[in-house]
Chains A and B, each alone.
Chain A
Amino acid sequence: MASNNNSSDRQRIAQQRLGRIAAHLHKHEDGNSGIIAKECKIDATGSTEENKGTVPRKRQEIMKWNGWGYSDSKFLFNKKGQAEFTGKRYRLSGMTLPSLQDWFENTFGASVKHKSPATPVLNASVVPPPRLNEAFVENLKATGIPFSNEAEDRLFRAHGHCLHEIFALREGKKFERVPDMVVWPNCHNDVVKIVELACKHNVCLIPYGGGTSVTSALECPPEETRCIVSLDTSQMNRILWLDENNLVAHVEAGIIGQDLERLLNESGYCTGHEPDSMEFSSLGGWVATRASGMKKNVYGNIEDLVIHIKAVTPRGVIEKSCQGPRTSTGPDIHHFILGSEGTLGVVTEVTMKIRPIPEYQKYGSVVFPNFEAGVACLREVAKQRCAPASIRLMDNTQFHFGHALKPQVSSIFTHFLEGLKKFYITKLKGFDPHQLVVATLLFEGDHERVLQHEKEVYDIAATFGGLAAGEDNGQRGYLLTFVIAYLRDLGMDYCVVAESFETSVPWDRVLDLCQNVKERIIRECKERGVQFQPLTSCRVTQTYDSGACIYFYFAFNYRGLADPVHTYEQVEHAAREEILANGGSLSHHHGVGKLRKEWMKDSISNVGVGMLKSVKEYVDPGNIFGNRNLL
């Protein structure tokens, strides 16, 4: 059990670390509370004990009901036509971004005059009335576990962040099916009770963690006639214990990424697991979707990080009997749960690896003459297995996009473009501004090692014509990741729809896949009557020994289209087909959900699907976990 009496050195590091997280995340006001290790008492749910998590039961109190993130943070074009980011949470907060409007209008052929505002308030009539299972409700009441069947709570949990979901919310469209009630278990035992009651009364359960799904995984199956209960894990957000000898922590699965890092940091540790959604996504969600973190090169992906998983299924609780670092005991049962997307049960507690906070952290960036050179460099870095904690390659479009986010007054972004232009004319002669791409880097470790590592990577980059382009440039690259979802909301205010999707692919196919997918999108948009050139952009976000993860952004101005969401979906579908035809995987880390179910058979073979089905059938014969993802 760790607490505040660690050495002052560690405290200092922890503070530093916190500062950094805050730097690219948000400024959390209460930064010095210790880790609470406590047992879930039978009556804990009813206790008045203060919940230290960021996420309240009523999420809508701090988060948008029809967009991304916190209610107080959003992009808008002010009266002067300049973009600004409201709120105080992010480093861009309160700043104006003078180049964003030009970039936006030029890229999409959009205009700030053509607004497409969202419905301002939730109209309760879009939410169908709850179909409650009275017996279940009665039994649930007896346990004291809090629940709600208010329209707002239920609607909030009826969707993830797919374009069509957010679009429907903004337009005030009627939802065919939403959860009939929401329950907030406070601990593992609560979950056991809920699952037992659900089985007893044949109620459909849909686990809900951070709600950041982009695969329609949270969508309620419209054909579901039973009472649907959304099981919100957000109140199960404690670190139950921390073992410094073995460097593991035992954590409740409802904890969201930022809280987990913050709490561990206070003790001088971190998990190092930083998916782009970490502000809101939960540990249980990561396990259920096989999440991947930005710094997986040092810390590994979620499957490398978990030591022990406890999950509640209709058959009972599944967990291993020891915490051995590796076992040979038949197929790893963790792998039935990892990626099960809420179809088998609820992950309640996870033991995961922790690491001391690294002493030193440094951003960096390298400019390459073109995407080909950049990919070749990343491939070489992967081959030599010297990838920094994070290494990403943004294409030219994304490079320009990043620049459009340059704030007016900022020490970090000052005069970069001008600087680069000079740089370009003097030293980089021969770099075409419409071709060049940038790799962003993040190094972590001992001060000395970081510098050494940095040199190693820059030396490799140099052999591919890459030139170091500064820390600021690198940091801005990562910033884009965290504000991109807010930017989508801005786009939707001005008739632009946008989405991202990802894949993983062997190294030798990276270039062709990027090229062909972009071309396919452009062609499909044209064929489907999209009047404006779409934005297609990609980056290589992860490197592996044998391949890479590619992340695409895709957006277009939908003015003139009758059903932009449908058009968008058709294009995304075509893009996925193109990915699969070019040797890409169905998903690297977003998962399958319901959005990509149709390709499962082709992806894992009929026998593979049969295996998963038989597991589902054994574990959950009554289809209590009836979100119908995956299969």
Chain B
Amino acid sequence: RELSSESNIYIYCFNILVFVTLQQRDPMLKRDGFEDILEERRNSSDLKYALRCYAPVLYKGVTPCKANMLKNIVLQSDQLHYVINQVSQESGEAPDIIQEEASVILEEMAHRLQISTVRFFAFALSKAFKTLFQHVCVNEEGIQRLQQAIQEHPVVLLPSHRSYMDFLLMSYILYTYDLALPVIAAGMDFMGMKFVGEMLRMSGAFFIRRSFGGDKLYWAVFSEYVKTMLRNGFAPIEFFLEGTRSRTCKSLTPKLGLLNIVIEPFFKGEVFDVNLVPVSISYERILEESLYARELLGVPKPKESTSGLLKARRILSEDYGSIHVYFGQPVSVRSLAQGKVNRSTYNLFPRHIPRKPMEETQSFVNDTAYRIVRLQEDNMVLKPWVLMASLLLQNLEGLELSVLTEQTVWLRGLALSYAAFLDWPDHAPTAKVVSSSLALHRGLACVSGGRVSLVVGEPLGPVTPEEALFNRAVSVLSCASYRNQVLHVFLRPAMLAVAMLHLSDEVYNCFSFLWDMFSNDFILCPGDIVQDFEEACYLLVKTGAVQMPQQDIVMTDIGQPTLSFFNGLLEPFLQGYQVVCRYLCEEASEGLTEKQYIPAVRSFYSVLCVFTGNLRCYEVLSSDMQKNALAALLRMDAVRKVKVADQVTLIVNKMAVNSIDDILGKNRMISHINQTQISPGLSLVAVAEDLYRDGLTPSYIR
């Protein structure tokens, strides 16, 4: 259990460092209390509320800008003119025509915020929320901070994205607290819903196409529109860093396009600062819960349509528990960029000419995006059920209720010591907490004969093995979406635990291998590997699970439950990735296209499962995990993408994939299924050394 000498140095240096950083993080972890905004709604007239006087404070007292004026500013901007002329020269079309195109794009995009529509929503949502939810809780101190921030600098609201509800909820809350209503970047798919799309537009949404890669004009109109709103501070801008709703309830790795756009005016000196406000929206039960599981399993997502929305009315009859909305501390881009980006590099190029961000800027924006998502995670409220779901998934055969209760209490203690934001009912007996959680989630778990197990949907008629597998997977994935909510709390120590239990020879190297491997699945800030390792050590030592005498990391006598729980927590991911590796090594054909990849992995697993009968890693059927695994292999150069004609083909470096599989699979159950492919003479230590020859910089497998 010796650590490599390099690691020792890091440990010595960073023991101190991590202590400091964790202490720095601590004040953030002193979280605000919540107020239930539905309480007042239940006691006073919704109509009066919807019609009340609304007079928010604005950025430096600007008068709100009419939607048309905004469009004119954009259409007359130097920035847009430059691109219009450029496009005109390239295409040979007259500038007037291009200008007209720009105007059409803007028309399609722009919001038409109207207070009357907002009032309508205020009324309708009050009714709906009261039916659906027990509480909608907001941290009022966060609201006060936001109010302050709005007056000082342009504000960008960055909420987490788990549900369609998110942005209506955001606007609803801001209206409730008399704050400036945001303009919200929404995906064009909403426009499919004719009436609703227009309603959303009138409540502040602006619509952007999902992809417009090469369309210069579109990009110019879009970015100038956003920047104009930002520079003039007419309204806070709101968008989802994750880009789309997370179907797994894990935070998604951030998309950078819009963040780049809103940060650029700061670099160009057009604004003094930009405040990024992370907002964490936690749902006790997500409206789309079972939809998501099916979607992940390849049942296509229903197209957004008004009639579909109406059909969804039945959800109104269910209890969805509480929502917690936490407005985080505003993050000043100026402070973040201090010493990282030299703004004067923008001095030598006209500001109105679009330009690809410089490397320095790109990595800054990337880093910022990750930090914001981590801040979102930090303030996500976790319910007891989240802990129960984590335990149930490690016991798919079911658990005694008393055991579940006991372990939930144990896990609660662990979570709290790891600074989880746990909403555990005060003064309620644990049994009560467990039973009411089970009641709320009766669609997912049931108690029969004192045992708690997952509910598996039983379709009518005869069931094929594949159908049975599918149904089982739906329930596992639904349950996993709750377990996933706690992962960010345990992730770092859990990776360390896995590294210790299975790959104990070079703990740091193995940790960093896992860190790298999983960086598409989890939010791991680029470059933070050492810090994360230190945090993991710190936390495990803090809870007594490991000791670090001298240069070792050693499990303590009492550490076993913690480490094995952590191991079990990550097991589905390790197995899932391993299945993908197996598939690529053993089954993947020469001309495997990117499109075929997901269904192919699915059927590979189904076949494997049906034949062996005892496989438990249902989560590999999730397209999310498959994509992440592929992305990791691509990143590690174990798989390459080649474009042939208009197809993207995957070229597998079997040797490399095999070594990854090998590291993942040591001592793991799936490894005994087929050992034939493992190359002889390739020891684990050798691979690990090869992988991390340079200590911290992984030299990827070739």
Which residues on A are within 8 Å of B, measured CB to CB? 508-509, 512-513, 515-516, 519-520, 580-583, 602
Partner of B344 from the list A508, A515, A581 (CB cut-off 8 Å) is A581
Cβ B343 vs Cβ A581 within 8 A: yes
Cβ proximity bits B338-349 to A, threshold 8 Å, 1 near / 0 not: 000011101100
Contacting pair A583 B272 (CB below 8 A): no
Question: Secondary structure of the B side of the interface?
Answer: loop
Q: How far is the CA of A153 from the CA of B33 in the complex (A)?
A: 68
Smallest CB separation, A514 vs chain B (Å): 11
A602-B345 Cα distance, complex, nearest whole Å = 10
Selected contact of A583 from candidates B342, B344, B352, CB within 8 Å: B344
Partner of A520, one of B272, B342, B346: B272
Check B347 against A583 for contact (C-beta < 8 Å): yes
A512 touches B347 (CB 8 A): no
Question: Given A582-B343, A602-B344, A508 and B272 touching (CB < 8 A)?
Answer: no
CB <8 Å contact, B343 and A508: no
Among A512, A515, A580, A602, which residue has the most Cβ atoms of chain B within 10 A? Answer: A512
Chain A residues near B561 (CB-CB < 8 A): none
A-binding residues in B (CB < 8 A): 269-270, 272, 342-344, 346-347, 350-352
- Given A508-B350, A581-B269, 17 new contacts (CB under 8 A): A508-B351, A508-B352, A509-B351, A512-B269, A512-B270, A513-B269, A515-B272, A516-B272, A519-B272, A520-B272, A580-B344, A581-B343, A581-B344, A582-B269, A583-B269, A583-B344, A583-B346
Residues of chain A within 8 A of B346, CB atoms compared: 583
CB distance from B690 to the nearest CB of A (A): 40
CB distance from A526 to the nearest CB of B (A): 12
In Å, the complex CA distance between A580 and B344 comes to 6
What's the minimum C-beta distance from B160 to chain A, rounded to whole angstroms? 30
- What is the distance, in angstroms, from B266's C-beta to the closest C-beta of chain A? 10
Distance of A595 from chain B, by nearest CB (Å): 19
CB distance from B353 to the nearest CB of A (A): 11
25 pairs of residues in contact across A and B, judged by CB atoms under 8 Å: A508-B350, A508-B351, A508-B352, A509-B269, A509-B351, A512-B269, A512-B270, A513-B269, A515-B272, A516-B269, A516-B272, A519-B272, A520-B272, A580-B344, A581-B269, A581-B342, A581-B343, A581-B344, A582-B269, A582-B343, A583-B269, A583-B344, A583-B346, A583-B347, A602-B344
Q: A582 to chain B: which residues have CB within 8 Å? A: 269, 343
Which B residues lie within 8 Å of A602 (CB)? 344
Which of chain B's residues has its CB closest to A508's CB? Answer: B351
Looking across the interface, which residue of chain B has its beta carbon closest to that of A519?
B272
Q: Top 6 nearest A-B pairs by Cβ distance?
A: A581-B343, A582-B269, A583-B347, A519-B272, A512-B269, A516-B272
How far apart are the CA atoms of A582 and B265 in the complex, in Å?
11
- Distance in angstroms between the alpha carbons of A515 and B269 in the assembled complex: 9
Q: Whole-angstrom distance from the CB of A582 to the nearest CB of chain B? A: 4
- Chain A: minimal CB distance from B273 (Å): 8
> In the bound complex, what is the Cα–Cα distance between A168 and B488 (angstroms)?
57
A583 to B348, CA, bound (A): 8
How many Å lie between the Cα of A291 and that of B155 in the bound state?
Answer: 43
Min CB–CB distance B76 → chain A (angstroms): 14
List, in ascending order, chain A residues with CB within 8 A of B342's CB: 581
A565 to B558, alpha carbons, bound, how many Å?
59
Minimum C-beta distance from B60 to chain A (A): 10
Q: Which of B269, B342, B350 has the most CB of A within 10 A?
A: B269
Chain A residue numbers with a CB within 8 Å of B351 are 508-509
CA separation between A513 and B343, bound complex, in Å?
A: 13
A577–chain B nearest beta-carbon distance, Å = 9
Q: Which residues of B contact A519 (CB under 8 A)?
A: 272
A581, B270: Cα distance in complex, Å: 11
How many angstroms between the C-alpha atoms of A581 and B348 in the bound complex? 11
How far is B25's CA from A531's CA once the two chains are assembled, in angstroms?
30
**Interfacial chain A residues near B350, Cβ < 8 Å:** 508
The distance in angstroms between the C-alpha atoms of A508 and B78, with both chains bound, is 11
What is the minimal beta-carbon distance from B314 to any residue of chain A, in angstroms?
53
- Among A516, A580, A581, max chain B CB count under 10 A is at A581
CA gap between A582 and B350 in the complex, in Å: 12
Contacts of B269 in A (CB 8 A): 509, 512-513, 516, 581-583
Nearest B residue to A518 via CB reads: B272
Complex Cα–Cα for A581 and B342 (A):
7
Complex Cα–Cα for A520 and B344 (A): 16
Query: Nearest residue in A to B343 (C-beta to C-beta)?
Result: A581
From A512, which residue of chain B is reached at the shortest CB distance? Answer: B269
Q: Report Cα–Cα, A512/B347, bound state, in Å.
A: 13
Chain A residues, CB < 8 A from B272: 515-516, 519-520
Q: In whole angstroms, how far apart are the Cα atoms of A512 and B266 in the complex?
A: 10
Give Cα distance in the complex from A68 to B351, angstroms. Answer: 42
Q: How far is the CA of A513 from the CA of B269 in the complex (A)?
A: 7
Q: Give the distance in Å from the alpha carbon of A278 to the alpha carbon of B55 in the complex.
A: 54
- How far is it, in angstroms, between the C-alpha of A583 and the C-alpha of B343 when the chains are bound? 9
Give the residue name and chain of the B residue nearest to A585 (CB).
B347
A503 to chain B, nearest CB (A): 12
Output the residue of B272, B343, B346 with the most chain A CB within 10 A.
B272
The docked-state distance in angstroms from the alpha carbon of A508 to that of B270 is 10
Shortest CB-to-CB span from B592 to chain A, Å, is 50
Tell me, rounded to whole Å, the shortest Cβ–Cβ distance linking A344 to chain B. 28
Contacts of A516 in B (CB 8 A): 269, 272
Q: Which of B270, B344, B352 has the most CB of A within 10 A?
A: B344
How far apart sit A474 and B350, CA to CA, in the bound complex (Å)? 34
CB distance from A409 to the nearest CB of B (A): 40
Specify which of A513, A515, A519, A583 lies most central, judged by the most chain B CB atoms within 10 Å of its CB: A583
A512 to B270, CA, bound (A): 6
Q: Give min CB distance, B342 to chain A, whole Å.
A: 8
Residue of B nearest to A513 (CB): B269
Complexed CA–CA distance, A554 and B351 (Å): 28
Contacts of A509 in B (CB 8 A): 269, 351
How many Å from the CB of B660 to the closest CB on chain A? 45
Closest to B347 in A: A583
What A residues does B344 contact at CB under 8 A?
580-581, 583, 602
Give Cα A496–Cα B506 distance, bound, in whole angstroms: 63
Residues of A within 8 A of B352 (CB): 508
Which chain B residue shows the least CB distance to A509? B269
Inter-chain contacts of B343 with A (CB < 8 A): 581-582
Neighbouring B residues of A520 by C-beta, 8 Å? 272
User: Which residues does chain B contribute within 8 Å of A581, judged by CB atoms?
Assistant: 269, 342-344
List chain B residues, Cβ under 8 A from A508. 350-352
Minimum C-beta distance from A219 to chain B (A): 27
State the CA gap A233–B351 with chains docked (Å). 46
- Give, as a whole number of angstroms, the nearest-CB distance from A538 to chain B: 15
Cα(A325)–Cα(B396), bound, Å = 94
Complex: A12 Cα to B343 Cα, angstroms: 55
Report the bound CA distance from A223 to B697 in whole Å: 45
CB distance from A495 to the nearest CB of B (A): 28
How far is A512 from B232 in the complex, measured between Cα atoms in Å? 12
Bound together, the chains give a CA A15 to CA B610 distance in angstroms of 111
Query: In the complex, what residues of A have CB within 8 A of residue B347's CB?
Result: 583
- In the complex, A117→B347 CA distance in Å? 44
Distance between B527 CB and nearest chain A CB, rounded to angstroms: 24
How far apart are A191's CB and chain B's nearest CB, in angstroms?
A: 40
**CA separation between A515 and B273, bound complex, in Å?**
11
Instruction: Please report the C-alpha to C-alpha distance between residue A515 and residue B352 in the assembled complex, in whole angstroms.
Output: 19
Closest CB of chain A to B255's CB: distance in Å? 28
Min CB gap A369→B, angstroms: 15
Report the bound CA distance from A48 to B344 in whole Å: 57
- B342's nearest neighbour on chain A, judged by CB, is A581
Bound CA–CA A532/B527 (angstroms): 42
Which residue of the partner chain A has the closest CB to B78? Answer: A508
Contacts of A580 in B (CB 8 A): 344
Bound state CA distance, A583 and B342, in angstroms? 11
Q: How far is the CB of B391 from chain A (nearest CB, A)?
A: 48
- In whole angstroms, what is the CA distance A519 to B273 when docked? 10
Shortest Cβ gap from A599 to chain B (Å): 10
- What CA separation (Å) do A602 and B346 show in the bound complex? 13
Nearest Cβ on chain A to B341's Cβ, whole angstroms: 9
Q: Give A510 Cβ to nearest chain B Cβ, in Å.
A: 11
